[in-house]
Amino acid sequence: MKKILVTILVLVASATHTFALNPSDYNAFYKLNNKVAYNALIGYIDANQEQAAFLQHVFKVTEQEMKMAVKNNNDLAAENVLNYNLRNTKCILTDGQYRKYLEFVNVYLNNENNFSMLTANR
């Protein structure tokens, strides 16, 4: 029984080690600080000036912290940064704006070409 438990622990440990942090999984959050993407997002969600200023701060902090998480290959830190971004944007935006924000980010995460089309349409 002890050998089976140790074997399972070794398998789990090796499996989690092989799934390294992939910086490309977080590209959408880097792009949000890009002036073109940022302006397109603000236009798409119809944010006012105060909301835009708060979002810009959140995006800068997200980018800085995400760079550190990726540099240190820290999955937990990357997840915390994502949660920080999503929680803060949800507090800043109305429900309708937040839904549009999630759409904007998800479109980019699923297909960078769609992201380009979405930002070009605004």
Q: Please report whether residue 13 resides in a domain.
A: no
What is d(CA 26, CA 65) in angstroms, rounded to the nearest whole number?
12
The pLDDT of residue 75 is above 60: yes
Q: Please report whether residue 2 resides in a domain.
A: no
Identify the domain containing residue 51 by its residue range: 21-120
Q: Please report whether residue 1 resides in a domain.
A: no
Q: Name the band, by pLDDT with cuts 50, 70 and 90, for residue 90.
A: very high
Q: Please report whether residue 82 resides in a domain.
A: yes
Q: Please report whether residue 115 resides in a domain.
A: yes
The pLDDT of residue 84 is above 90: yes
Q: Please report whether residue 44 resides in a domain.
A: yes
Q: Please report whether residue 3 resides in a domain.
A: no
Q: Please report whether residue 5 resides in a domain.
A: no
Which of 17, 28, 14, 12 is CA-nearest to residue 81? 28
Taking only the tens place, the pLDDT of each residue in 10-55 is 444 444 444 444 555 666 677 777 888 888 889 999 999 999 999 9
Number of domains composing the chain = 1
pLDDT (0 to 100) of residue 112: 57
Tokens read off for 21: 């942090």
